[in-house]
Amino acid sequence: MSLDDRTRTLLRERELFLEGADPVRRGIVRAEIAQSWKRSLMYGLEPERSRPTYCSAPQSSEQLLSVAVPVIESKRSALVDSSSSLALTDPGGWVLARWVEDSRFSRRLDRHDVLPGYSFAETTVGTNSGGIVLETGRPALVAGPEHFFEESLQLTCAGAPIYHPLTKRLIGTLNLTCRYSDTNPIMLSWVCEVAAQIQQALATAAHRREQLLFEAFLADNRDSRHAVICLDEQTIISNAAAARILGPSDQAILWEHAARTLQIGTDTAEKTVSLADGAAVGVDVVPVTDGPTTVGALLRLKVGSHPSRHERSHEPAPVLGDLVGNSPAWRAMCHAVTDTGTHALLLTGESGVGKFAVARALAGESDTAVVDALAATAAGSDWNTHIADAIDQAPTLLILRHIEALDSSALRTTASAVAAARARQIRVVATTNVPASALSQLVEWFDKVVEVPSLAERAGDLPLLLDTISRRYSQPSDRVHWMPDAVQALGRIDWDRNVAGLDALVRELVAGRNRRYIGAQDLPIEHRVQASRRQLQGLEQIEAKAIMNALRDAEGNKRLAADRLGIARSTLYRKVRSLGIDIDSANF
C-alpha cells in the first residue's frame, strides 16, 4: 500500500480512534466513516480478530437473485480489464453472489471470505460499504484505511442500496471492490447506476408477480369462510378469515414453509405449521407459476379448533383487562391471580413487568384505592395515615404499591392494615420489586404470593405485545407491522425495565410517525448493539475479569492498568470495547 499523505492521515486517525479518541469531534475522518467506526466498537468487534461469519442457508432472496443476475451479467465486461469484483448481498449482509474476472484478485478475495454465504454486515466485520449501506440506506464508499476490519485495509469498496420498488424496503446491496491503489471516485456512481437498473428490473418483475399472485388468490377465494393467502417473500394477500389468525411475524414463517414445501414436494412436506403465537394450523401449499418459474404460493389454512389466533388447544388464560399474553408463564400467572378464594394477594417480580397493571386489571370497574409507599416515603408523608385513610374509604380493592420501600416499623403497620382490611371484606393486592423472602414480616398476612413473569420468560408473547402496544400509540387506521428481523432482534435484548422498556421503545418508534413497517434497521442503534452483543465465554470471562481488576487496582488509570497487564494502551481500549466492558459507568 502506497503511504501517501491521505493514507498516513487515515491510518493515524484510525489508531487514535482505537486508543479512545473521538473521530467525530476531531473532524478529519468523513462523518459517515467515523460514525461507522463507533458503531463497530459498540458491537464489540476487534479489528484484528473479527471475521466474516458463514451461514449455509441465509435469508431467502430468490426474487432479488433472479432479477439482479441478468443485469449484472450484462455489465460483466466492465470487470474483464480490471482487478475488481461485484458482490450482491441480502438485507442481512449475507453475500448472495460474486462476480470477478481476474483470477489473482479472485484468490485474494477468497482469502478475505468475500464469498457467497458469508456476512459482511457491520455487526460482523465493522465498517465496509455494504454494512454502511444497510445501516444508513444510502450509497457509501470505504477506501483502504477507512475499513474497520484490519484485513481489508488494502481494499476499497463502493456500495449502493437496492430497494424494492413497491414496498420501498431495503432488500439488498450491490458492492464493487478493488485494490486500494486503484481507488477511483467514479466507482460509487457506476455501482449506483447498476443498482438503479436492478431496481427498474425489479419493478417490472414485481408488477407481473403481484398480478399473478392476485389472480391466483381471486381464483381460489370463492368461499371467504375459509382462510386463504397468496404470498411470496415480499407480498402477502389474505382474506378476512386468514387475517384473523395471522400475526405480524407469520408471513415469514408461512413463506419459509411454502418455499421448503415447493422445493421438496407437497407429498413429503409437513402439513402443520406453528405460528408466532404458538397456534398450530394445517397448511396446503399450491405453487403459483409464471411459465416454468415459480413466483409464489397459494396457501389454504385449516384452523380446525383454532378460530382465532388467541385461542388454543389448551385452556385459555383468564382475561386481565387489556393485558395480553399467551406464554405458559403468563397463563399460569393469570390463573393464579384470578383465584376467587384469594382475599390478600402479594405480586412480586422485576421492575417494569407490569405488577401494577395486573393489580388494576383485577380491580376492573370496582371501587379501588391506591397507596404508593415509594411516593409517600419520597414526600416524607406519614404512611400510617395514608393507609388508614385508604381503608376508611371502604373500597372494594386496596392496592399497596412498592412496599419494599417501607422500613420495619411501616411493614408491621402494613401487616395490621391488611388484617383490618380483610376483616372489612376489602380485597388487598400489594406489589413489590423484591423477593417475598425479603418481606418476612408481611408475607404471612397474604393468602398467596404470585410472581409476575419477566419479559425474558415471555419470549413467545413478544409479537403480541409489540402489536398491542403499537395500537396504543398509532392511529386506528395505521396498523404497524413488525418485521420478523425486528422481532428476532428485540427477542435477544436483556430488558432491564421489561415491558415498561419495550413500551418506551415502541412509543419512540411509533408515536407521531407514519411508519407502517418496522424492521431491524429501524431500531435505535443502542438496541441493535444489545441485540448483536454476544455472551462472553470461557477465556473471555477470565480476560474481562483481569482487565476490571487491573483498572480497579489502578483506580481507573488506563495507562497504569495497561502497564500492569503487560499490554499497550491501544490494546486495552480494543479489548474493553470487544468484551463489552463499560468503563465509563464503573466506579474504581
> pLDDT tens digit string along 114-125?
999 999 999 889
Q: In CATH, what number is assigned to the domain containing residue 490?
A: 1.10.8.60
Residue count (the chain): 588
308 band by pLDDT with thresholds 50, 70 and 90: very low
Is a pLDDT exceeding 50 seen at residue 339? yes
pLDDT of amino acid 588: 52
In SS3 terms, 2-67 reads as CCCHHHHHHHHHHHHHHCCCCHHHHCCCCHHHHHHHHHHHHCCCCCCCCCCEECCCCCCCHHHHHH
- Among 261, 284, 302, the domain-final residue is 302
Is a pLDDT exceeding 90 seen at residue 187? yes
pLDDT, tens digit (0-9, with 9 covering 90-100), for 15-35: 999 888 888 888 899 999 999
Higher pLDDT pick, 196 / 226? 196
- Among 203, 234, 249, the domain-final residue is 203
Q: Is 415 helix (H, G, I), strand (E, B) or coil?
A: helix
Q: Specify whether 227 is located in the same domain as 291.
A: yes
Q: Specify whether 494 is located in the same domain as 547.
A: no
Is a pLDDT exceeding 60 seen at residue 508? yes
Alpha helix (H) residue ranges in 43-152: 62-74, 77-80, 103-111, 122-125, 129-136
340, part of any domain = yes
Q: Specify whether 227 is located in the same domain as 334.
A: no
Q: Specify whether 445 is located in the same domain as 338.
A: yes
> Measured between alpha carbons, how far is 351 from 331 in angstroms, rounded to an integer?
20
Is a pLDDT exceeding 70 seen at residue 268? no
Half-sphere exposure in the Cβ direction for 188 (13 Å, CA): 12
- Among 453, 480, 501, the domain-final residue is 453
pLDDT of amino acid 534: 53
587, part of any domain = no
Tell me the C-alpha to C-alpha distance, in Å, between residue 447 and each of 317, 337, 340, 344, 423.
21, 11, 11, 5, 14
pLDDT, tens digit (0-9, with 9 covering 90-100), for 123-170: 889 999 999 999 999 999 999 999 999 989 999 999 999 998 877 889
Q: What is the mean pLDDT of residues 498-507?
A: 93
Mean pLDDT score of the chain, rounded to an integer? 84
Q: Specify whether 381 is located in the same domain as 499.
A: no
Q: In CATH, what number is assigned to the domain containing residue 377?
A: 3.40.50.300
pLDDT of amino acid 295: 84
Q: Specify whether 438 is located in the same domain as 468.
A: no
359, part of any domain = yes
Q: What percent of the chain has pLDDT over 70?
A: 89
463 band by pLDDT with thresholds 50, 70 and 90: confident
pLDDT of amino acid 60: 61
211, part of any domain = no
Q: Specify whether 134 is located in the same domain as 269.
A: no
Is a pLDDT exceeding 90 seen at residue 198? yes
Q: Specify whether 480 is located in the same domain as 509.
A: yes
Q: What is the mean pLDDT of residues 524-547?
A: 69
Domain of 544? 539-578
pLDDT of amino acid 313: 38
Most trustworthy range by pLDDT among 169-173, 339-343, 481-485: 169-173
pLDDT of amino acid 277: 63
Most trustworthy range by pLDDT among 228-232, 271-275, 486-490: 228-232
442 band by pLDDT with thresholds 50, 70 and 90: confident
Q: In CATH, what number is assigned to the domain containing residue 275?
A: 3.30.450
Is a pLDDT exceeding 90 seen at residue 574? no
Q: In CATH, what number is assigned to the domain containing residue 548?
A: 1.10.10
Is a pLDDT exceeding 50 seen at residue 239? yes
Number of domains in the chain: 5
350, part of any domain = yes
257 band by pLDDT with thresholds 50, 70 and 90: confident
Q: Specify whether 446 is located in the same domain as 337.
A: yes
Q: Specify whether 472 is located in the same domain as 433.
A: no
Q: What predicted TM-score, i.e. pTM, was given to this entire model?
A: 0.55
311 band by pLDDT with thresholds 50, 70 and 90: very low
Backbone phi and psi for residue 476, each to the nearest 5 degrees, phi listed first: -55, -30
Q: Specify whether 249 is located in the same domain as 167.
A: no
367, part of any domain = yes
215, part of any domain = no
Q: Is 398 helix (H, G, I), strand (E, B) or coil?
A: strand
Q: Specify whether 368 is located in the same domain as 447.
A: yes
